[in-house]
Amino acid sequence: MHMADALISPVVGGAMWAATAGLATYAAKKVQQDIDERKIPLMGVLGAFVFAAQMINFSIPGTGSSGHLGGGLLLAILLGPQAALLTMASILTIQALFFADGGLLALGSNIFNMGFLSCFIAYSFIYKPIVGDKLSKGRLLLGSVLAAVIGLQLGAFGVVLETTFSGISELPFSTFVLLMQPIHLAIGLVEGLVTAAVILFVAKESPEILSKTAKGQALGNISVKPVLVTLLIAAIITGGALSWFASSDPDGLEWSIANVIGEDELKSPEGIHSALAELQEKIAFLPDYNFKHDGQPAATTEKEAPSWPAVDTGTSAAGIIGSLLTLALAFTIGKGLQRFSKQH
């Protein structure tokens, strides 16, 4: 659901950048109140895990489309909504800058749609009331699935609204929304199940993480090492090897666009869109999660069908490097907020 710049006008993109900057500032101030030595590495490792998990597109049967984990709900459950938003912003920034996944003008929209709506709305108003203080498997599964579905529905609708208000594409509201919402319903169901599985693991290894985060408390001296080690290993394996098994079908957004205009990508207007595209091309050293080939995509032979699994060192490098970059950025943000808090 990463929006490209071709969907967004400068006015809408700028407004979403401003809104997201305001939300991030608020989140940073709140995180300063409860951040500690345990939460900082947790932000980094969870950011790396979600980055890697987002590389695994799974096919939606009978549609020709695919989806991937958003991760906002998972981050909010384990970190709290404020730290989760900052971590999601780290993930999406790394993806846009170095992997050309999502536009630079649309980055504010992507953080809002994939971060704020899941971390603050779906988590706070859906997951928490259902799960409460009793972490039973039934409540957890129900809360995770419902919150993931609603979070993705809100995010998908946000994409449609921002595209419509921008008015620079040939995507009519009614047709676009009737494609976006159902396909992201299926994606949300899978995300909810994956989220529940990860939370059940954390509940077994370190249940205090869940209880303290739900109450907005600092993690204190509880042990988070088993969770950190397991999720970091999972991130490296997922980004380095499991990413070979990702579906080659277009994701829900690309699929919806293709069913409206017959192509899964829109042409960007001239002006600021072209300037930002050139800037992104220069910065992104692993575009589309693979090595550059003399500035051009790798040559293909007569529409040869891609192999599966797509064993590729470029994909592995992108998964591992991206996970580590995300870990470093999220960790640095957490450490910076902690130091600022101590100074004031």
Phi-psi category of 309—alpha, beta or left, where left has phi over 0 and alpha has psi -120 to 50? beta
pLDDT at 294: 60
Q: What is the mean pLDDT of the chain?
A: 93
Instruction: Flag whether 126 is in a domain.
Output: yes
pLDDT at 314: 95
**% of the chain beyond a pLDDT of 90:** 83
Instruction: Flag whether 30 is in a domain.
Output: yes
Instruction: Flag whether 125 is in a domain.
Output: yes
Instruction: Flag whether 207 is in a domain.
Output: yes
Instruction: Flag whether 303 is in a domain.
Output: no
- Structural domain that includes position 227: 5-291+309-343
Q: What's the pLDDT band for 176 if we cut at 50, 70, 90?
A: very high
What size, in residues, is the chain?
344
User: Could you give the 3-state DSSP secondary structure of residue 91?
Assistant: helix
Measured over the CA atoms of residue 219, residue 221, residue 226 and residue 229, the dihedral's sign is positive
pLDDT at 302: 43
Q: Kindly report which listed range (40-54, 173-187, 193-207, 296-310) carries the lowest average pLDDT score.
A: 296-310
Task: Tell me the per-residue pLDDT of 109-154, one tens digit each, with 9 for 90 and over.
Answer: 999 999 999 999 999 999 999 998 778 899 999 999 999 999 999 9
Instruction: Flag whether 304 is in a domain.
Output: no
Instruction: Flag whether 301 is in a domain.
Output: no
pLDDT at 213: 92
Question: What does pTM read for this prediction?
Answer: 0.95
* 201: CATH: 1.10.1760.20
Task: Tell me the per-residue pLDDT of 241-253, one tens digit each, with 9 for 90 and over.
Answer: 999 999 999 999 9
Measured over the CA atoms of residue 90, residue 92, residue 96 and residue 99, the dihedral's sign is positive
Average pLDDT, integer, range 268-281 = 94
Say whether pLDDT at 296 is over 80: no
Instruction: Flag whether 166 is in a domain.
Output: yes
Amino acid at site 2: H
For residue 102, count other CB atoms closer than 10 A to its CB.
23
Question: How many structural domains compose the chain?
Answer: 1
**Nearest-5° angle of CA 305, CA 2, CA 58?**
45
Residue with the bigger pLDDT between 280 and 267: it is 280
> Which residues make beta-bridge pairs with 67?
58
Instruction: Give the span between the Cα atoms of 317 and 239, in whole angstroms.
Output: 8
Instruction: Give the span between the Cα atoms of 222 and 199, in whole angstroms.
Output: 17
Say whether pLDDT at 305 is over 70: no
